[in-house]
Amino acid sequence: MRKRLLPLLFCLLSPLTLWAWGVDGHRAVGKIAEHHLSRKARREVQRLLGTETLTLVSTWPDEIRYYPEFKETAPWHYVNTPSGLPHDQYVQAIKSQTTANAYSALEAQMRILADVNKTKEERAAALKFVVHIVGDVHQPMHTGHAEDKGGNDIKLKYRGKDTNLHSLWDSGLLDYQGLTYTEMAQQYDHKLRNRQIRQLQASTPDQWLWESYQESEKLYQETPAGTDVDYKYYPAHADLMKKRIVEAGVRLAGLLNETLG
């Protein structure tokens, strides 16, 4: 039992953990996706997950990656590139990386999920990774710079406490609003029209990452190391946070509708 607790303790104590959107943010993405599933995709999700739901499995890849048998999945949660890349160079950069990253992991897990010759257990695990990675790549700081570990080394103060740019976007802004993941899903996911949903679901993962990369570049410039983030930061960035969570949920549903429906 003690050996099994050590990875969990490391997860809780490490300042470099990469829980994009935090637990509630990931679950809000899963909850929103559930609202937009087709009937066929919903049935297949239920068959693969049994009593679990997209909402609850959305955090599974974060919960297991500190165990030795899953250590190779650690880089699956982010894509780090140099700053200042134009669109075409950025897309080429994320597609040509020889080490594992969120883009290549998402593609690989989607292939497993779509392969009906794989076992139910293999496809269920792939589904859990897909749910999580889609959430990850919509968090801007999961497309940050390698030299500062996606903003983990950009030390800040927020509401009088020490933090960093990555953590501020992982959970700091979400925690500030004080909503549960169910409340987030209900409040965020009601303004999109059918045309907007279709447009979001027609986009591709490299586009999702490009959008996050562009936002991360702005966040780096706005919030250099040593910034004392004041009360103006949340209202200035809340709409972006909500937008990215909704887009992640809607696009996740589109991905699953196409693959499982």
State pLDDT tens for residues 146-202: 899 999 999 999 999 999 999 999 999 999 999 999 999 999 997 788 999 999 999
Domain with residue 106: its CATH number is 1.10.575.10
Residue 229: inside a domain: yes
Residue 2: inside a domain: no
Residue 181: inside a domain: yes
pTM summary value: 0.91
Residue 9: inside a domain: no
The answer to whether residue 6 scores a pLDDT higher than 80 is: no
Place 9 in a pLDDT band, splitting at 50, 70 and 90: very low
* Helix, strand, coil percent content, the chain, rounded in steps of 5: 70, 5, 25
Residue 8: inside a domain: no
Report the number of distinct structural domains present in the chain.
1
Task: Look at residues 143, 166, 115, 110 and name the one whose alpha carbon lies nearest to residue 212.
Answer: 143
Range of the domain at 140: 16-260
The answer to whether residue 209 scores a pLDDT higher than 60 is: yes
Residue 17 confidence (pLDDT): 45
Over range 27-55, report the average pLDDT.
97
What gap in Å lies between CA 155 and CA 137, rounded to an integer? Answer: 22
Contact 88, 103 (CB under 8 A): no
- 85-136 confidence digits (pLDDT tens): 999 999 999 999 999 999 999 999 999 999 999 999 999 999 999 999 999 9
Task: Look at residues 207, 260, 243 and name the one whose alpha carbon lies nearest to residue 25.
Answer: 243
Structural tokens at position 88: 């075409």
Residue 115: inside a domain: yes
Residue 10: inside a domain: no
The answer to whether residue 221 scores a pLDDT higher than 50 is: yes
Buried-exposed string 218-247: b where 16+ CB fall within 10 A, e elsewhere: ebbeebeeebebeeebbeebeeebbebbbb
Residue 131 confidence (pLDDT): 98
Residue 114: inside a domain: yes
List of residues 6+ apart from 215 with CB closer than 8 A: 140, 240, 244
